[in-house]
Amino acid sequence: MSDLGDLYHDMILGHAKAPRNFGKLDPCDASALGHNPLCGDRIGVTLLLSQGRVTDVRFDGSGCAICTASASLMTEGVKGRTRAEIDTVFQRVHDLVTGKGDPEDPELGKLAVFGGVSEFPMRVKCATLPWHTLNAAFDNSNAPVSTE
């Protein structure tokens, strides 16, 4: 896992070109904006919640392929989950992209494709920005989050 071919895995490219759940929920129960100045990624996340579970989620904005694919796969992975469950998934993703996780971890599912990111420290924030933004939405923060 050390060349760009591994980083830009087919699944990442597929989601980057045709992101799932792209757009904005209006009205929504929670929203946040995220910015990664290192790369220029800017995304917004909107959520609908019911009894502490995410019933719908969308993201919009403009990010690089890694950021867009991460947001797309994240939105697919968090529907129906509680914040605590989502925190657990994010921790696994974070460990994976920082080289501490296990790409074979079955709990990661499709998110395992981001394992290649650990070879590219500059890209870690691209992959984690959507998750930080989702957390900010849960906090119902009106202040834009930044990876810096």
The verdict on 111 binding Zn ion (CB under 5 A) reads no
| CA dihedral for 30, 117, 15, 109, sign (positive or negative) | negative
The verdict on 49 binding Zn ion (CB under 5 A) reads no
DSSP H helices in the chain: 4-7, 10-17, 65-78, 83-97, 121-138
The letter for the amino acid at 92 is R
Q: Give the shortest CB-35-to-Zn ion separation in angstroms.
A: 11
Cβ nearer to Zn ion, comparing 117 with 137: 117
The verdict on 65 binding Zn ion (CB under 5 A) reads no
Cβ nearer to Zn ion, comparing 48 with 65: 65
Cβ nearer to Zn ion, comparing 54 with 118: 118
The letter for the amino acid at 63 is G
Q: Which among 26-34, 36-44, 72-80, 139-147 is the span making contact with Zn ion, rule CB under 5 A? A: 36-44
The letter for the amino acid at 137 is A
Does residue 146 contact residue 88 with C-beta atoms inside 8 Å?
no
Residue span 115-144 as binding mask against Zn ion, x where in contact by CB under 5 A, dash where not: -----------x------------------
Whole-angstrom distance, CA of residue 105 vs CA of residue 23 = 30
Q: Which among 58-66, 85-93, 112-120, 130-138 is the span making contact with Zn ion, rule CB under 5 A? A: 58-66
Q: Which of 6, 11, 20, 39 binds Zn ion (CB under 5 A)?
A: 39
Closest of 21, 142, 137, 120 to residue 70, by C-alpha:
21
Q: Can you give the binding site for Zn ion, defined by CB under 5 A? A: 39, 41, 64, 67, 126
